[in-house]
Amino acid sequence: MSTLNLFARPLYVMAKPAGAHCNLRCEYCYYLEKQHLYEHGTRHQMSDDVLEAYIRSYIETNSLQDILFTWHGGEPLMRPLSFYKKAIRLQQYYGRGRRISNSLQTNGLMLDDEWCRFLHDEGWLVGISIDGTQEMHDAYRTDSQGRPSWQRVVDNIHLMERYGVEWNAMATVNRRNVEHPLEFYRFFRDTLHCRYLQFSPVVERILQHRDGRHLAQMLDKDCPIAPFSITPAQWGTFLCEIFDEWVRRDVGNIFVQIFDATLAGWCGVDPGLCTLARECGHAVVMEYNGDLYSCDHFVFPEYRLGNVMTDGLPQMLYGTKQNAFSQLKEKGLPRQCKVCEWLHACHGECPRLRFMRTADGEPGLNYLCAGYRQYFQHVAPQMDYMREELLAGRPAAGVMNQF
């Protein structure tokens, strides 16, 4: 136990009850191919034993009164409602008065009346994966027969709204929608009336593995960029154009995760978005069989922490291996980042994208660096203003009258 820094900070375990299995075949997906890590098992479904071990140990390990369970995939709705009802019974049994909440990240295709009633009655927060307008979304988010999915997702968003289910949008920013930032943003704001938005930039590199996986990881060298990936310049322009619209009319009304995280970084507080935080490793993932990995983007054999059926959760979450992973983000910064004027807001972004070299040849620079520099430079006056307003005890929304 001496190597553990137990309870120093809350850590989250994001569960994948159907493993990497999904009813879509989104072309850019980084997770579908994780099935190849588990080809010995045909049914990648979390057993009742793993579910119970997870819920019991997650509650016991957690030092907080409020405990958040996150269900992820793959597609978590590929498990039946009875699975989640069992999870709730176990949460109540082991929770013994703790405040427990649940969130679910889904492609939304399998939502129906029964699901929506459950999600509303149990107060679950639902993240819906949707990439913008029909044309943007259906460019990559199709099923195994190449059929589009946008219409069903939008229909089910309306269904959730009829039941009063709380939801937010998670959109990937890819080679197709990145060129249309305002159309993209206005679709969420004006058509879907979505108030909470998360953007995730798509960047992958190709590397064929013997087991069938075809995406590279951080340390792999000389791998070509996948065609659905965005360029740094596209990312920078995308963020700047949406920011300009948001900062003039939507502050305090539409919550764009990366803008909120940037402001938090500007104010010196934890941004709540791992990519812009000083450290990573605050949310590990648990595969269907109980295997834990350091991060959703590091589900590789080298980053396996153990298994919830055989290893203690505190040892896996707060042990040497995960601590080293958390610190990698800051320790691995190249000099260009260490002296960068935007380090306080960027922290070198996600280590998985640090496969570039700096101008003087040092490895470890983030692929999206130029885009982030463009973005931070552009938003600096408004970020400075909002920080001063917040420090003076006034709402940041005052920025809308100033620029």
Binding site for ligand SF4 (CB under 6 A): 274-275, 280-281, 295, 297-298, 329, 336-337, 340, 342-343, 346, 348-352, 366, 369, 372-373
CA pair distance 367, 372, nearest whole angstrom: 10
β-partners of residue 70 are 14, 103
Q: What angle do CA 349, 350, 353 make, to 5 degrees?
A: 105
Which residue has tokens 């136990």? Answer: 1
Q: Count Cβ neighbours within 10 Å for each residue of 356-372 and write b for 16 or more, e otherwise.
A: beeeeeeebbbbbbbbb
Measured from the CB of residue 182, what is the shortest distance to ligand SF4 in angstroms? 24
Measured from the CB of residue 333, what is the shortest distance to ligand SF4 in angstroms? 7
Measured from the CB of residue 334, what is the shortest distance to ligand SF4 in angstroms? 7
Closer residue to ligand SF4 in complex, CB, 47/358 = 358
Catalytically annotated residue among 131, 296, 311, 384: 296
Chain centre to alpha carbon of residue 147:
25
Half-sphere exposure (Cβ direction) of 230: Cα atoms closer than 13 Å: 27
Measured from the CB of residue 161, what is the shortest distance to ligand SF4 in angstroms? 30
Closer residue to ligand SF4 in complex, CB, 75/296 = 296
DSSP state of 166: E
Closer residue to ligand SF4 in complex, CB, 160/350 = 350
Closer residue to ligand SF4 in complex, CB, 213/373 = 373
Cβ atoms of residues 380 and 346 within 8 Å: no
Measured from the CB of residue 324, what is the shortest distance to ligand SF4 in angstroms? 13
- Active site includes 296? yes
CA pair distance 106, 126, nearest whole angstrom: 7
Closer residue to ligand SF4 in complex, CB, 251/264 = 264
Closer residue to ligand SF4 in complex, CB, 74/348 = 348
Measured from the CB of residue 126, what is the shortest distance to ligand SF4 in angstroms? 21
Which among 135, 244, 128, 130 is positioned nearest to 179, based on CA atoms? 135
Q: In 3-state terms, what secondary structure has residue 396?
A: helix
Cβ-proximal residue to ligand SF4, closest one? 280
Crossing angle (nearest 10°) for helices 113-122 and 81-95: 10
Phi, psi of 381 (to 5 degrees): -60, -45
Encoded tokens for 204: 């992958």
Distance between start and end Cα atoms, the chain: 54
Residues with catalytic roles: 296
